[in-house]
Amino acid sequence: MASQFQFDWQAAIDSIPFLLKGIPYTLLISFGGLAIGFALGILFGLLSINKKWFLRWPATTYIEIFRGTPILVQVLFIFYGLPDLIGGPIDPLTAGIAAIALNSGAYISEVVRGGVQSIDRGQTEAGLSLGLSRPQTFWSIVWPQAFRRMIPPLGNQAIVSIKDTSLFSVIGVGELVRQGQVYIANTFTAFEVYFVVAIMYLSITLTLSLLLRYAERRGLAST
Amino acid sequence: MTNIVTMQGLNKYFGDLHVLKDIDLTVEQGEVVVIIGASGSGKSTLIRCVNGLEEYESGQLTVDGEHLAPKGSNPKALATIRKEVGMVFQQFNLFPHLTVQRNIMLAPMKVKATDAATAAGTAKKLLDRVGIGSQADKYPSQLSGGQQQRVAIARALAMEPRLMLFDEPTSALDPEMIGEVLDVMRELAKEGMTMMVVTHEMGFAREVADRVIYIHEGQIVEEGKPEAVFDNPQNERTQSFLSRVLKH
């Protein structure tokens, strides 16, 4: 049977309104998860470079576990496994946000650690020698400089996490890929629909890339 | 005269390395003490002990009436001392994310809760005093090394310190910029600032120091007026060090 395939533009265009319904979920899970992940990343990133072992160990344990296991396993564990423990169901949206938060939090911890450790010790010494306390020295001298260096890797992590949300179609969150699957089940236009889905992901990630490049340029201009 | 710094039998180790050995040293108010010695002799470590950037293992150290206990075990005294003691570093260590003026305003605003307008006024005055009043709104990276080091001096002075520590302040500078930094330090000394200066600038030491201390392998081996140390050193180690550094 020779392939007589022809790209059906009309089918692609027709799928757009249905697919667009998935975007709010994709964005909510991505950015909701990343916001919590950023908070976790600051917390565990800073704990992981603390001098006290009993603060450092829990942080590195968390980082290694969530960096070392697939995010698909993490979300399946949260969605199907955790209800056994807490004795009640978890809705797929919450499970998705939690998975992105915990997973990106582990990677962002490493970004925070690297950023903070890249700032010269002399900066801390100068702050302390002027009479600033350790927290004052950190938050007004080290952190602003470290954060500027963290922008590119943070942007990278945001793009990875946005794409990771596509895996959550398996727990039935109505995000972009899930919407595509549902649509294809009725129309059998897999090529066209996944093509549109891919373009939609690309629009989100490219927009983010441009914003980040702008933020980086502005950040660097003032050093 | 009152002593600003008193060290008695101070010992400091880096692991197994004994970097400061039974240091006895006093610095009186208004005195300029210049510390010389080969690299690795412990001279930087010595002044970094004074504001607690290095902890010491045993002995006594009193700075401006506050007893700084060994191993950083007196954080309250340390906090007080750091407000009273300014420091200038070899690598300037200006804050690259802040303008020159903000660099100077930061500590008074954070530590002494000075309001922004007052801190800005003080910063301007200090910048004029070190001869770079027109650079207030620039970022450190836009200045020459000599200018950066003068900003660093102004930044330390903004806390109105009772003692200034200088850790090889001209060693990272191009030769043509060394003079402008030494001029500012000379002025400070004239105005009666108490100073401990680690430097390789022997001309400055001879001219400005009230007392010169030569450190060799963590020990003070010679101490006295600059004329005495430079023209008539008693210890043969001092003689050989000076013959090496003064030759060129």
Interface contact flag, A129 B106, Cβ < 8 Å: no
Which amino acid, one-letter code, is at A25?
A: Y
Q: Give the distance from residue A54's alpha carbon to the nearest chain B alpha carbon, in angstroms.
A: 21
What is the three-class DSSP state of B80? Answer: helix
Interface contact flag, A129 B91, Cβ < 8 Å: no
Rg of chain B, C-alpha, whole Å: 18
Q: What ipTM was predicted for this assembly?
A: 0.94
Longest dimension (CA), chain B: 55
Mean pLDDT to the nearest integer, A89-103 = 96
Looking up tokens 């400070």, which residue turns up?
Answer: B188
Interface contact flag, B93 A126, Cβ < 8 Å: yes
Average per-residue pLDDT for chain B: 95
Q: Give the distance from residue A174's alpha carbon to the nearest chain B alpha carbon, in angstroms.
A: 44
CA torsion sign for A23, A28, A29, A33 is positive
Mean pLDDT to the nearest integer, B125-151 = 96
Instruction: Give the whole-angstrom CA distance, residue B173 versus residue B169.
Output: 8
| Of the candidates A135, A108, A113, A114, the residue with the CA atom closest to the CA atom of residue A124 | A135
Residue A192: the pLDDT is 94
A223 → closest Cβ in B89, B93, B141: B141
Residue B2: the pLDDT is 85
Write out the two tokens for B135: 């650079």
Q: How many CA atoms lie within 13 A of B97 on its CB side?
A: 17
Q: For a pLDDT cut of 70, what percent of chain A falls above it? A: 97
The pLDDT-based confidence of B1 (bands split at 50, 70, 90) is low
Interface contact flag, B82 A130, Cβ < 8 Å: yes
Instruction: Give the whole-angstrom CA distance, residue B36 versus residue B199.
Output: 6
Contacts of A121 in chain B (CB under 8 A): none
The pLDDT-based confidence of A223 (bands split at 50, 70, 90) is very low
Interface contact flag, A129 B85, Cβ < 8 Å: yes
| Of the candidates B44, B38, B82, B35, the residue with the CA atom closest to the CA atom of residue B63 | B82
**Is A155 within 8 Å of A212 (Cβ atoms)?**
yes
Q: Which helix (H) or strand (E) holds A36?
A: helix A23-47
Residue B160: the pLDDT is 97
Residue A221 has pLDDT above 60, yes or no: no
Residue B24 has pLDDT above 60, yes or no: yes
Mean pLDDT to the nearest integer, A46-61 = 96
Encode pLDDT of B58-72 as tens digits: 999 999 999 998 988
Residue A2: the pLDDT is 63
Identify the bridge partners of residue B219 per DSSP, sorted by sequence position. Answer: B216
Residue B87 has pLDDT above 80, yes or no: yes
Residue A111 has pLDDT above 60, yes or no: yes
Measured at the alpha carbon of residue A186, what is the angle toward residues A181 and A187, in degrees to the nearest 5? Answer: 95
- Distance from chain centroid for Cα B50: 10
- Tell whether A122 is within 8 A of chain B (Cβ): yes
Interface contact flag, B139 A223, Cβ < 8 Å: yes
Establish, for the pair of chains A and B, how many residue pairs have beta carbons separated by less than 8 Å.
Answer: 65
Identify the bridge partners of residue B129 per DSSP, sorted by sequence position. Answer: none
Find the range with the poorest average confidence among A61-65, A191-195, B97-101, B243-247: B243-247
Q: Give the distance from residue A120's alpha carbon to the nearest chain B alpha carbon, in angstroms.
A: 9
Average per-residue pLDDT for chain A: 94
A125 → closest Cβ in B53, B79, B96: B53
Residue A155: the pLDDT is 95
| Of the candidates B208, B128, B113, the residue with the CA atom closest to the CA atom of residue B159 | B113
Encode pLDDT of A175-217 as tens digits: 999 999 999 999 999 999 999 999 999 999 999 999 999 988 8
Instruction: Give the whole-angstrom CA distance, residue B106 versus residue B127.
Output: 14
Q: Which helix (H) or strand (E) holds A204?
A: helix A190-221
Write out the two tokens for A15: 């799928």
| Of the candidates B34, B35, B36, B12, the residue with the CA atom closest to the CA atom of residue B22 | B12
For the entire predicted model, the pTM comes to 0.90
Mean pLDDT to the nearest integer, A94-98 = 97
Q: B211-216 and B219-224: which strand pairing?
A: antiparallel
Q: Give the distance from residue B41's alpha carbon to the nearest chain A alpha carbon, in angstroms.
A: 21
- Tell whether B141 is within 8 A of chain A (Cβ): yes
- Tell whether A156 is within 8 A of chain B (Cβ): no
